[in-house]
């Protein structure tokens, strides 16, 4: 799997070293570890690793493997809503609740089951890690996966096989930037960077990814099958759907139209041409998700997109462009969901030796 080149940004001796999760083979400055070490070996200050959230701007489900895993064709980008991991000598994990909008960390595991701990175990490393959690949980933004990728980067591990064993989104988060993601998430093909702005709506509900895919299976009724034929662009297509075309796409029973797809019975199309085959499934699992989608549509005049399996909805544009510059929240039946402005992160920023982009600038809904 391709990886982005890059390194770390160092400071004065004894200061923290900042490493972007999408960087290269790990930092080589004071406070980091050598590739062969199984314990902390740095001589400087703590290592701070920023882990950008993942935004899935287009997602097609193109098949199901015999083992039940779903095959996807998606476009994913890194955005500047980031968790922060601080690595120091010792052993253990401490989670600090800094989730944007005051949504809380819920039941995040701070023990050996946490993806950070599992990543360190897979890399044969130990460290005392403080995880400053800013990405909401069960929001479709890859918070756990990007934390896992950050830990692998700190440990100097860039093996996609290690990454995919930790989770389907970890390989993309290990690369970062913008990419076309296929297979079960293990095929990551970097794409040219596009500077984009989005506004996220973060409902105070979570959607379990496994439940969403089970609902998709029920709705699909077997319309997409493993081993479906590929079209001229190499995309796998389902049987029984209405034919259609997109920039790269073809269609199956749940096909959809957009930059990477086309449209079918259960798909939905966003205002800017992207689509997410999981939207109907997610709303069937959590019906109030539809209310939040409609609230964002009314506020912006645009068709919101679902991020991954949810629960985040998003539209492209800035707060001002969308007429939201004076709003921090949307309300549905007395419950509030924060609005969060984000931008995409370029691969060179992910591994840059310069200062990373500011986090939290014009961040609406922050606690």
186 classed as catalytic: no
SS3 54: strand
SS3 352: coil
Report the distance separating Cα 299 and Cα 301, nearest Å: 6
Contact 51, 83 (CB under 8 A): yes
Q: Which of 256, 33, 53, 271 is nearest to 157 (CA)?
A: 33
169 classed as catalytic: yes
Contact 314, 199 (CB under 8 A): yes
Query: Which secondary structure element, helix H or strand E, spans residue 81, and what is its range?
Result: strand 70-88
**Phi and psi angles of residue 148, each rounded to the nearest 5 degrees, phi first:** -60, -45
One of 80, 169, 186, 277 is an active-site residue; which one? 169
The CA-based angle 237-239-240, given to 5 degrees, is 130
SS3 261: strand
CA-derived radius of gyration, the chain: 20
Report the distance separating Cα 181 and Cα 185, nearest Å: 6
Q: Which of 145, 78, 139, 81 is nearest to 105 (CA)?
A: 139
**Catalytic annotation, residues:** 54, 169
């Amino acid at each position: 799997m391709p990886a982005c080149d890059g390194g770390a940004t160092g400071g004065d001796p004894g200061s923290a070293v900042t490493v972007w999760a999408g960087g290269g083979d790990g930092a080589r400055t004071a406070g980091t570890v050598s590739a062969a070490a199984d314990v902390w070996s740095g001589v400087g200050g703590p290592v701070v690793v920023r882990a950008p959230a993942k935004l899935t701007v287009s997602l097609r489900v193109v098949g199901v493997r015999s083992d039940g895993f779903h095959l996807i064709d998606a476009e994913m980008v890194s955005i500047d809503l980031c968790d922060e991991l601080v690595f120091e000598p010792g052993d253990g994990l401490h989670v600090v609740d800094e989730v944007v909008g005051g949504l809380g960390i819920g039941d995040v595991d701070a023990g050996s089951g946490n993806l950070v701990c599992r990543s360190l175990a897979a890399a044969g490393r130990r460290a005392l890690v403080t995880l400053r959690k800013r990405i909401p949980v069960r929001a479709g933004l890859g918070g756990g996966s990007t934390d896992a990728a950050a830990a692998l980067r700190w440990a100097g591990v860039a093996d996609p096989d290690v990454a995919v064993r930790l989770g389907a989104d970890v390989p993309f988060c290990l690369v970062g930037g913008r990419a076309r993601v296929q297979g079960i998430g293990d095929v990551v093909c970097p794409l040219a960077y596009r500077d984009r702005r989005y506004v996220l709506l973060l409902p105070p509900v979570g959607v379990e990814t496994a439940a969403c895919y089970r609902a998709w299976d029920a709705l699909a009724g077997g319309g997409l099958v493993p081993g479906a034929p590929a079209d001229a662009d190499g995309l796998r297509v389902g049987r029984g759907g209405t034919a259609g075309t997109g920039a790269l796409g073809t269609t199956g029973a749940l096909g959809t139209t957009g930059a990477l797809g086309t449209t079918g019975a259960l798909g939905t199309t966003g205002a800017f041409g992207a689509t997410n085959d999981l939207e109907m499934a997610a709303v069937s699992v959590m019906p109030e998700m539809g209310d939040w989608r409609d609230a964002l549509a009314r506020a912006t005049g645009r068709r919101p997109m679902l991020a991954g399996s949810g629960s985040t909805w998003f539209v492209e544009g800035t707060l001002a462009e969308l007429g939201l510059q004076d709003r921090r929240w949307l309300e549905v039946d007395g419950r509030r969901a924060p609005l969060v402005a984000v931008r995409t992160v370029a691969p060179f920023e992910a591994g840059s030796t310069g200062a990373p982009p500011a986090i939290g600038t014009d961040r609406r809904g922050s606690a």
